[in-house]
Amino acid sequence: MKIHLFAFLIFTTLISCNQSGILLENEYEVTVKAEGVFNGLRAYLKTNEDPRNSIATDTAVVYKGGFTFKGQIEGTEMRSLTIDGVNGQTTIILEPGKIKVVVYKDSIYKSTAEGSFNNVVFNDYKKEYKAQMDNLNSVRKALMASQNDPTLTKSLKKQMDSSRIELKNFGFQFIKANTDADFSLLLLNSVIDQKGFDLNLASEAYDQIDNSIKIKTINNQIISNQIKTKIKLAEKSQLVAIGQIAPNFSAPNPEGEFVELNKIKGKVTIVDFWASWCKPCRTENPNLVKLYNKYHPKGLEIISVSLDRESQKDFWIKAIEKDQLSWYNISNLKFWQEPIAKLYGVNSIPATFIIDKNGILIAKKLRGSQLDQKIKELFD
């Protein structure tokens, strides 16, 4: 009897604590005020890494202009908040603790979230980003109105260019000023998904984020690894950017003799990545043969790097003979782990890189008529 009574007292104590508003470890409570939204409509918290494949992680039903999400989460993640019958969505930072959201049904993206550290930081980011946008729009309007004043127009164009760069790099600067926030890690992972991001600024921003944030949770560790991978890929991509010196390489030909790029370069050299099992590559080969036969006497060289496997060496050799690839053919026979493909950032084939006589990359990823036209321009 005493045991049952003791258990009952513990159970009622836990219930009392929960009813008192004290949250358990890793528990979140998102209280949403949504005036004007009809009772009975369903609201959702959704993952937003991929908008096309978002997953609802929590649901609630609107009652008397409000609703509450409650659950558990380890760490900090971004969520999209949507409501049936309300156009658009708003983004909040979901993390342990109490979060208060005010939804404006006619402009849900303007909704606010408060009550947790990272939502405060997120709000600061949105305010500062809006200020940057307002400044850019102000300069744009002034520029449009200055067409009759050449001096002012020139000055405003410079200001416009400067404002655009500031806006593009704003995220990096914000991260450097908020190195102790999980949001900064989430923001950096998003910013470097944009094409043409500043690699140096990205590396600096990542280095300055507190290490305690990077290892704080499993999710943060995953995001940190994603960021490091993206930066490494960008570094490799920069190595083979147009205007850069093509990275040198060497690998064995079918007879086992090593061929080195820098020793066989012609007036123009095509580095071609392919494989015997790649149908688009085999379809493109006749076009390369035609180009080689026409322009090799004028100084065109081709070096084909195969992504075949060790077990496919015979298929590789037969494909060279069948397709009449009478130029340099090399491979380490390591499939997608081919070191030269990794060096050149190749993740799909066929892939071509065109190099001039000085070893400078002048074009890449051209096929068919585009490749024909480029080689024609270089020789004719």
Per DSSP, which regions of the chain are E strands? 27-33, 42-47, 56-61, 66-72, 77-83, 90-94, 97-102, 112-114, 250-252, 258-260, 268-274, 300-306, 328-330, 351-356, 361-364
**2-115 under CATH 2.60.40, yes or no:** yes
- Here the tokens at position 27 are 């528990």
**Among the listed residues 316, 313, 308, 315, the one whose alpha carbon sits nearest the alpha carbon of residue 334:** 308
C-alpha span between 45 and 36 (Å, rounded)? 20
Along the 380 residues of the chain, how does pLDDT read in single tens digits? 444 433 433 333 333 344 446 888 889 999 999 999 999 999 999 997 776 788 999 999 999 999 999 999 988 999 999 999 999 999 999 999 999 999 999 999 889 999 999 999 999 999 999 999 999 999 999 988 888 888 998 999 999 999 999 999 999 999 999 999 999 999 999 999 887 789 999 999 999 999 999 999 999 999 999 999 999 888 888 888 899 999 999 999 999 999 999 999 999 999 999 999 999 999 999 999 999 999 999 999 999 999 999 999 999 999 999 999 999 999 999 999 999 999 998 989 999 999 999 999 999 999 999 999 999 999 97
Q: Side chain identity at 256, as an amino acid letter?
A: G
**250-379 under CATH 3.40.30.10, yes or no:** yes
Residues 6+ apart with CB under 8 A from 223: 185, 186, 189
Provide the pLDDT for residue 7: 40
Domain boundaries, the chain: 2-115, 119-239, 250-379
Task: Please indicate, yes or no, whether the overall pTM of this predicted structure exceeds 0.85.
Answer: no
Whether residue 339 is preceded by a cis peptide bond, meaning omega within 30 degrees of 0, is no
| Chain-centre distance for alpha carbon 262 | 33
Provide the pLDDT for residue 13: 37
**Torsion 208-212-216-222 (CA) sign:** positive
**Among the listed residues 226, 231, 223, the one whose alpha carbon sits nearest the alpha carbon of residue 78:** 223
